[in-house]
Amino acid sequence: MNKLLILLFVITKISLSQFDLLNQKEYADSLYLSQNYFDAIKEYKRLIFFDKENSLTHYSYNQIAKCYKYGGKFEDSYNYFSLSLTVANSYKEVFDSKIEICRLNIIQKKIRNAHRILDELEKDSLFNDFKNQIKFWRAWTFYFEMNFEKAHNLFNELNKKEFSEQAKKLSEESYSLEKAKILSIILPGAGQFYTNNYLSGLGSLAWNLLSGYFTIKAFSNERIFDGIILSNFLWLRFYKGNLENAEKFANQKNEELFNRTLNFLYFNFPEEIP
């Protein structure tokens, strides 16, 4: 009889402890979903402390890392995703943590790191069942790398129609840095015209024509020293500035296009964006 009572006591205590853990998890999750990230972090840490059997520790570390990520604390986020790897109980949990680290690298535009993580996962036979997921995040890596054509092709293979269309649109509408610079080499200001910065383009053209005129006039009047000074400190300065502006404006336009489409996708597909 005593043994039966002890057994019932142990079972009841275990059940109550599990019930308390689930309540704590539910409370922490509610704070996370309401975007009270730093309050959620405290509750997930409390959950880890009371989780003696580590049944929810991996989950809690991942959630803490996500809270730090959404709070803009990327270094802390990386540390907690790394901690989640140390308590992973399955290949799926290992994979999930590594993908989260990859996503963190993608949004920080640490493209080489993201590709390296995906390469390692792709080569490891333990993760053969996750090939499509690896390909999906590879597509996002290309997307943030501004290699929209490759991103479009991979999204298309995965039948991710909306992502594929947005990548294709960016590929078609993005400005070529090389073209902007070549146009500016041929005719100062042309690169700015290409990116629809007409006022800046007119300014570059005017200053280059004016400084070029005075430089050529100095040389033709045999004022060699004046010509050298004008060419090096005036004309070449404006010419170089024209090239730099062409590249700068092309980059700015591409960033605007990129951010506009990314905001659209974040709004409509928040769980599938890095």
Whole-angstrom CA distances from 145 to 100, 119, 192, 255 are: 18, 16, 23, 11
**Do 234 and 214 form a contact (C-beta atoms < 8 A)?**
yes
In three-state secondary structure terms, 142 is helix
44 token code pair: 């997930």
152 token code pair: 């479009």
| Topology given in CATH for the domain delimited by 2-141 | 1.25.40
The span from the CA of 147 to the CA of 157, in Å, is 16
**How many CB atoms within 10 Å of residue 62?**
22
Mention every residue, 6+ apart, whose C-beta is less than 8 A from residue 52: 17
pTM score, whole prediction = 0.78
pLDDT at 230: 60
pLDDT at 225: 67
Length of the chain: 274
Task: Tell me which residues of the chain have a pLDDT lower than 50.
Answer: 1-16
**Do 111 and 95 form a contact (C-beta atoms < 8 A)?**
no
Closest listed residue to residue 114, CA positions, set 147, 161, 88, 71? 147
Residue type, 89: N
Q: Per residue in 55-92, pLDDT tens? A: 889 999 999 999 999 999 999 999 999 999 999 889 99
**Do 142 and 152 form a contact (C-beta atoms < 8 A)?**
no
**How many CB atoms within 10 Å of residue 123?**
8
Q: What is the DSSP letter of 235?
A: I
Q: What is the DSSP letter of 56?
A: S
Mention every residue, 6+ apart, whose C-beta is less than 8 A from residue 30: none
Phi/psi for 175 (5° steps) reads: -90, 140
Q: How big is the chain by its Cα radius of gyration, in Å?
A: 29
Q: What's the helix, strand, coil split of the chain in %, to 5?
A: 85, 0, 15
Q: Per residue in 193-212, pLDDT tens? A: 878 887 887 777 777 777 77
The span from the CA of 15 to the CA of 18, in Å, is 5
Whole-angstrom CA distances from 195 to 172, 258, 262 are: 14, 15, 21
